[in-house]
Amino acid sequence: MNKKERDALIMKYAPLVKNVVGRLTFRLPIDAADREGMVNVGIIGLMEALEKFDSARNVQFETYARYRIRGAVLDELRLRDWVPRSVRHKDGNLEKAFHALQKTLGRLPDEEEVANYLGITLEQYFKLLDETKGIPLISREDLTPDYIETHGVSEVLKTVEHGNPLDVFVGKEIQHRLKQVIEALPPKEKLVISLYYYDEMTMKEIGMILDLTESRVCQLHTQAVLHLRSAMKE
């Protein structure tokens, strides 16, 4: 591939880079300049995808490129560590509460039960969810480009096309448990997870479907993430 052909492909897939960066950073305290920097990092991931893509594997380039771009951006985010230590501390307390209640109750706790356990009002609990919304479901280490190389592109893409896309980022030993917990989520949380991870809709778009504010959708997403992360540690 010559430089002209490569540049043409970069231009063609530039919107894909912006889409991936937008989804990964929209909940983080990143300004326009930093987000543009993440786009540049994503372009590097795209260039790596162009170099390493093997058409003989009968895999769509766009799908392979998405994971390369995602991995490059997540690596950079990990290096910069955008999540403040205070937020990680609050997230840790929330996760401990969810985990303790789940063990005690034998089911997923509701909002009031978590708030009571923490000794705070529902309003304070919702504020806490807002403050920890940047914490991801899966650790970033599980989302590096090397994951694709380790597990095989074909296996990864088969999972994406025919199963839950979250399965790509976790080991097979906890996939079954993860699916069980997703099924047990409250209806709105389950729908948010489905629309966000399956259909790649934005929080604003999901809010329009559910007739909820974008902020409330983010709270439901964070709550679902806490439910899932807690259950995955069982």
State how far the Cα of 157 lies from the Cα of 193, in Å rounded to an integer: 19
More confident residue, 107 or 173: 107
CATH number at residue 186: 1.20.140
> Residue 109 pLDDT > 80, yes or no?
yes
Per-residue pLDDT at 91: 86
Nearest residue to 21 (alpha-carbon basis) of 61, 77, 63: 77
What are the residue ranges of helices labelled H in 137-199?
A: 146-151, 153-162, 172-184, 187-193
- Is residue 196 a part of any domain in this protein? yes
Residue 158 lies in a domain: no
- CA-to-CA separations, 182 to 75, 79, 179, 187, in angstroms, rounded: 27, 30, 5, 10
Is 127 a domain residue? yes
Considering 75-84, 151-160, 193-202, 214-223, the range whose residues carry the highest mean pLDDT is 214-223
Q: Given pLDDT bands bounded at 50, 70 and 90, which one contains residue 150?
A: very low
Burial category of 91 from C-beta neighbours within 10 Å (exposed 0-12, middle 13-18, buried 19 and up): buried
Please say if the pLDDT value at position 16 is more than 50: yes
> For the chain, how many structural domains are there in total?
1
Instruction: Confirm whether 182 is domain-assigned.
Output: yes
pTM for the complete prediction?
A: 0.62
Domain that holds residue 101: 84-135+171-234
Which tokens in the block code for residue 128? 């806490």
Of 62-66, 90-94, 109-113, 182-186, which one has max mean pLDDT? Answer: 109-113
pLDDT in tens, 45-64: 999 999 888 877 777 888 88
Confidence of residue 234 (pLDDT cuts 50, 70, 90): low
Q: Let me know if residue 9 belongs to a domain.
A: no
Inform me whether the pLDDT recorded for 119 exceeds 80. Answer: yes
Residue 189 lies in a domain: yes
Query: Which of the pair, 101 or 179, is modelled with greater confidence?
Result: 101
In a domain, 94, yes or no: yes
Give me the pLDDT at residue 176, please.
67
Asked if residue 110 belongs to a domain, the reply is yes
